[in-house]
Chain A
Amino acid sequence: MSSETPRDNMSDALGAAVESVLETMFFTMPDGKVDLEQQPLPVHHRVGMTFTGAYWGNFELRITPDSARAIAENFTGATDPDELPDEKVMEVVAELTNMICGSTLSHWASDKIFSLGSPHWIATAETPVDQHPESDPNKPEAVFHGHRAFDLGGGLLAADIEVHESAA
């Protein structure tokens, strides 16, 4: 590995970012970690984004619809459902995705510069989704992986990150 600074455990960095972002920007405290092997994720939304720079890779966030709406209400301060249509909820989930990905990378490799792509929707709860991120057989194997899932009290949130080293 060519990095100059020792890297923290990717899953720990990811978990810390999820908790910090939820608590500070969405006024939400997770009830605890969840093992998706024991408690599979119910129907959920999926948002992904890519990043480039000293390391490149992809990030994916999965969240159950009720939790997505709850955090969107906290973020916007909207109390009337008419004020918060589904498109607005999706916009907030995209922002959540962006913040968790950026926060994870910044703390995991604070001496590097990353360029974040825009969050994009992979699937909504209304469309069929796999239980796990898709695997492309042609994609190179990631050097670092991170995964965390949390109980948000009535819903679940899972985050996954794959990081590859860029060519020198």
Chain B
Amino acid sequence: MSFRVLIVDDSPSMRAFIKRVMTLSGLEVSAHLEAGDGQEAIELLNREWVDVILTDINMPRMNGEEFVRKLSESGLLKTVPVVVVSTDATDARREHLTALGARGYLTKPFLPEALREEIERVTGVADVK
């Protein structure tokens, strides 16, 4: 399966790194879309369709927590899974984001394989393999 992926992170370098790592991991990606914060991502999602969203937590304007909450309120989380990609590995943060509706949580640093496995798991591709 080939994925349309939205990467939400205020760091252009991190967005570029995630794109690179997805390629290194062997994940088939048909489209990379990018946003610098939650607000920009929501505007983009009004006109683009994606299979999975990868989002950071600490961002200006609209942080990852607020972004996940907005997606949940709009009902989009029912069809598009969100994976939080963050340096914050605390149990408390992970549980909080999961309770808000995030389906995956990946902590930096992470291996390319871990990113691929998490995307495949939340999209259900791992189940049909």
Contact = CB atoms under 8 A, between A and B. Distances in A.
Interface in A135-166: none
A99 interface: yes
Contact of B110 (A24, A88, A106, A113): A24
Contacts of A113: 88, 90, 92-93, 96
Given A113-B92, A116-B87, A118-B58, A102 B16 contact: no
B109 A24 contact: yes
Given A110-B89, A111-B92, A103 B13 contact: no
8 contacts: A20-B109, A21-B109, A24-B110, A99-B109, A102-B87, A103-B108, A110-B91, A112-B90
A77 interface: yes
Given A24-B110, A113-B93, A103 B16 contact: no
Interface residues of B, number: 22
A110 B90 contact: yes
A114 B87 CA distance: 11
A109 interface: yes
Nearest to B109: A24
A76 B16 contact: yes
A21 B58 CA distance: 18
Interface in B2-22: 11-14, 16-17, 20
Contacts of B39: none
Given A76-B16, A113-B88, 20 more contacts: A20-B109, A21-B108, A24-B110, A75-B13, A76-B13, A76-B17, A88-B13, A95-B14, A99-B87, A99-B108, A102-B87, A103-B89, A103-B109, A106-B87, A106-B107, A110-B90, A111-B90, A111-B92, A113-B93, A116-B88
A125 interface: no
Interface string A108-132: 0111111110100000000000000
Nearest to B11: A95
Interface in B49-69: 58
Nearest to A91: B13
B109 A106 contact: no
Interface in B65-102: 86-93, 96
B111 interface: yes
B87 A103 contact: yes
- Name which of B17, B93, B108 has the most chain A CB atoms within 10 A of its CB: B108
A98 interface: yes
Contact of B58 (A20, A77, A107, A116): A116
A24 B111 contact: yes
Contacts of A92: 13
Given A95-B11, A118-B58, A107 B108 contact: no
